[in-house]
Every structure is written in structure tokens, then in C-alpha cells.
Amino acid sequence: MSSEPIALGRLLASRGVASRRKSEDLIAEGKVTVNGELADHPAMEVDPDLDQIRVDGNLLPDLPPPLYYLLFKPKGCITSRDDPQGRKSVFDYVELPHRVEPVGRLDFDTEGALLLTNDGSLAHALTHPSRQIPKRYRVKVWKRPSDRALKNIAEGKVFLEDGRVPPCKVRVVDDTDGGNTWLEITVTEGRNRLIRRLFAQIGHPVSKLRRETFATISVRGMDRGQIRPLTSEEVRRLHDLAEGRQPERAGRVKYKEGYARPKPKKRRHGQRKKGRGARSQRRS
């Protein structure tokens, strides 16, 4: 029995051979064959159960298990694998048995939560603008923004060169001895350097920036450079968000129609029933 046909470039990426873009480069360089013939385009459809696919003469590896990790990205490293400038990469902190890719990006000078996975469909959904995935940041800015400036951020009244910034949750966390301010802000967009450009636009440039959570997954309790696997509840939460479920309900167990919910625990013998009736009995 064969599987569903799939685009060759997508298949190579799903098997951990390379990223989608690098897979396309391998095909263009003539390093991929299908049934002994050179592949001519990354969009050509293949059946991994019927077609023999080789990369640099080696058979296509088996489908790896799905992996989901969180990295506390340190400041001073990039989120891609290769850099012409020779800067440090987040993959210098990652030693895993299978290839993973970052979900979205963090700037060179920004630290914090960075998801890593080989689940391409989930990564695509979590970075698609229509999903409005929440990302919470802790940001240190020059001086303290006025209440009016913060209100404009909250009401979506700040405009950048590439358009309006949608409403963001924002609050003051603390003031420093030097007269600067720590803020917490939650955005649902992934535009390049959005937080830095937003505060620069209102006259309060950013000096420090840390992403506390991505899609509700937090780096709390982690050290810079530390990587950990996600829990099953966190993975379920990500899939719920990818399907459009609200963040406050993501990860909760859903009960299908026709299935009984768990029964409440029975009271022990002699244990008083809580509630209005119990209170009225005590008063009588």
C-alpha cells in the first residue's frame, strides 16, 4: 500500500535531510535522484513507499519521530545554521539525534523562548499571521513611557512604515535607578524587529529584550543556553493553538459528544457537603 504523493522538496525536509530551502538547493545542484533519474524540480510529486530516492547517493532516511523542544536562546547568536559573518548560532547549543528547525526567529540581540521542532505543519501554523499566536516579552526601554503612549499601544494606535501595530497587552513592571523602565508586552504578530521598532517609534528605544513565552510556552526556571523537551501537555497546547483554539483553553482535555466526563470524587463517610446547604445547616 502506497502513501499519499508529496512534493520532493517537502519530503526531504520532513525526513530531516535539510531545511525546505536547502532541500531545494540540493535538487537544483543535481544531488537528488528519484528511481535513478536526476530530480528536476522540488515540486515534483513522489511516493516515498514506491519511489527510490537518494541524496548524494544515500537512500532517503526513515521518517524521524516528532520532536518538540524549547531553547532559552542567549543574546548574541543567530537562529539560522549558516552565517557568512561567522557568528554563533543557536544550533551550537543543540545536540539532538534528529534535525530540528526553529519556529520563527529571534534577533541576534534578543534572548528568550525559541521553539525547535521537526513538525513542519505545526511550525507553519504557529507562524502564520492568521493564528495570532501570543508572544510575551520583557523589555527595558529608555525612560518611562507616558500613560498616553502605553494606551496608544494597547489600543493599536501606533503606526510603523509597514503598517499599524495591532493592539498589544502592555504594562509597567518596574522603574530602574537610572530612570529607565521595564515593561511587559504581549504581541500576536511576527514582523521583523517589531518590539524594537514599536518603542523606537514612540521615543523609547529598547536596551534589553527577552521573550518570556512563545505560544504560552515559558522559559521560566531555565538558564540561558538551556534546552528542554516539551511536556505532553505543552505539545497538546501548541496543537490546540495551531488549530485556532483560544490560549486560555489550549491544552485542556476536550470531551467529545457521546463520551462521559470524569465523575467527581465521592465524599468520604461522614464528610460534610460543601455549599449553601451545608452553611444553612450550620446556621440552624
**pLDDT score, position 284:** 43
Q: What are the backbone angles phi and psi of residue 257, rounded to the nearest 5°?
A: -60, 135
- In 96-221, where do the E strands start and end? 101-102, 111-117, 135-141, 158-160, 163-165, 169-175, 181-187, 206-214, 217-218
Mind listing the pLDDT tens digit for each residue in 252-268?
A: 766 554 555 556 666 66
Residue 109 annotated among the catalytic residues of the structure: no
Amino acid at 68: Y
Confidence bin at 82 (pLDDT 50/70/90)? confident
Residue 56 has pLDDT above 80, yes or no: yes
Residues 86, 121, single domain; the answer is yes
Q: Which of 40, 51, 82, 107 is catalytic?
A: 107
**pLDDT score, position 13:** 87
Task: Tell me if 274 is assigned to some domain.
Answer: no
Residues 100, 12, single domain; the answer is no
Mean pLDDT of the chain: 90
Residues 31, 72, single domain; the answer is no
Residue 26 has pLDDT above 70, yes or no: yes
Residue 244 has pLDDT above 80, yes or no: yes
| 73 in Cβ contact with 115 (< 8 Å) | no
Assign residue 46 the CATH number of its domain. 3.10.290.10
Assign residue 156 the CATH number of its domain. 3.30.2350.10
What is the rounded average pLDDT of the residues 16-42? 92
**Does the pTM of the predicted model rise above 0.75?**
yes
- What is the residue whose three cell numbers read 495591532? 166
State the greatest distance between any 2 C-alpha atoms of the chain, in Å, as a whole number. Answer: 90
Q: How far apart are CA 250 and CA 109, in angstroms?
A: 30
Residue 3, number of CB atoms within 10 A of its CB: 12
Q: For residue 64, give every residue at least 6 positions away whose Cβ sits within 8 Å of its Cβ, in sequence order, or none.
A: 15, 16, 97, 98, 99, 118
